[in-house]
Chains A and B, each alone.
Chain A
Amino acid sequence: MIKAIKQWVTAVGLLVLSAVSVAESEERTAQIIVQDAVSVEQLKRTDLRAIFTMKKQFWPDGTAITVFVLPPRDPVHVQFCRDALKLLPFQLNREWDRLVFSGTGERPQVVSSAAQMLELVQTTPGAIGYLPASVNAKGYDIAIIK
């Protein structure tokens, strides 16, 4: 009986620890930002992935999506790929290369800094991008991953 209780306590403890770990992981996730006029408050991860692989090209209201990303080796980009898209950065690059060399699509626009990302997402219709969680993006729409 005592052995069984110990096993249950251990299992619950592990569950709590993993839940804390997930919560911390979510905190580290880069925040997704969209232009003010985009009437989207939440995005499923599947949709986010389809947008950043440049396959999904329009918002539900018909506005064309413009995607902004940070340079490939920027830690925030790497973190965004891993945490938000659940992809490795090279997987995303490979998709973009395939589109460009076949002519079947476009790659996203690469910005040099978080400040430029914020400025361009604010001023470009239908824009989507991401920022480090530490940047205050209050006042701009933030898409939350479900």
Chain B
Amino acid sequence: MTIAKILVPVDGSPCDEVALIGAIRTATPFCAHVSAVYAHLDPGKIAPPAVPLSAEAMTAILEGNAKVYRDSARQIREMIARISLSEDVVAEEDRSSDRVTISFLEALGYPPELLGAMASLSDLLVSAACTQPAHRFDIAAAALLKGKCPVLITPKPLKEFRKIVIGWNNSVAAAHSLSAALPFLEKASTIELVCLVHDREPQVEIGRALSYLRTKGLEFSSIHMRQILGSTQHALGDFAVERHADLLVVGGFGHSRTAETLFGGVTNDLLFHPPLPVLLVH
């Protein structure tokens, strides 16, 4: 896929800056457009209270909600203006082919549902690792599963993705992650493959991954087969850090979501505690 549009959910928290700067720096090699979206519930529609309230009290609550959202939206706009200056990006209307552009949109509704739908018409969703975990999980899951959109989780402002590690287990999700990562792989100087196997598991087949990359003239500079004891949860992230990688690419929700929730899967771990930028693809 070509990276032309990057979606960034924002919510007025301090993590927005990490996500936006991460998105802009990811967009730069592709001269892509960054779409910042503040998705929140409609302040005019709240669930009826358990205790009946007077009309004045209801009005006060509704106005209070609306004010919170208005203030957040204003703060987000100010932050975007500030970041646009420091990162040298331009507004969407000034779009030409050689600059990153940015836009801001406020959308009313249930955020994971809205963002999942928007992700289906986006090439990448960027989220900061410090955002509220439950929200991040729901939005990332919606983008991955409903929007079929890769998700980049970034723990801190990014640097260039020179060295990329790919976590490989020959699954459908891993295969999708390899093809989705191609735009990044083509610009990287080093690509490494790592397969984690538990004791007594068969070796993971890697031939198809090698062939696929060769169609684009790419090669793995090294391939690592690591045996692990215990859970895979932290092993991938730890390995990528050990290799001084700038980006880890993995198939997200390769196992069923139920399995992941019950058994504390690899996807959960990388979503909640990424030690480096992680690209998740379903």
Query: Are the chains A and B members of one assembly?
Result: no
Residues of A at under 8 Å CB distance from B? none
- Which residues of B are interface residues toward A (Cβ below 8 A)? none
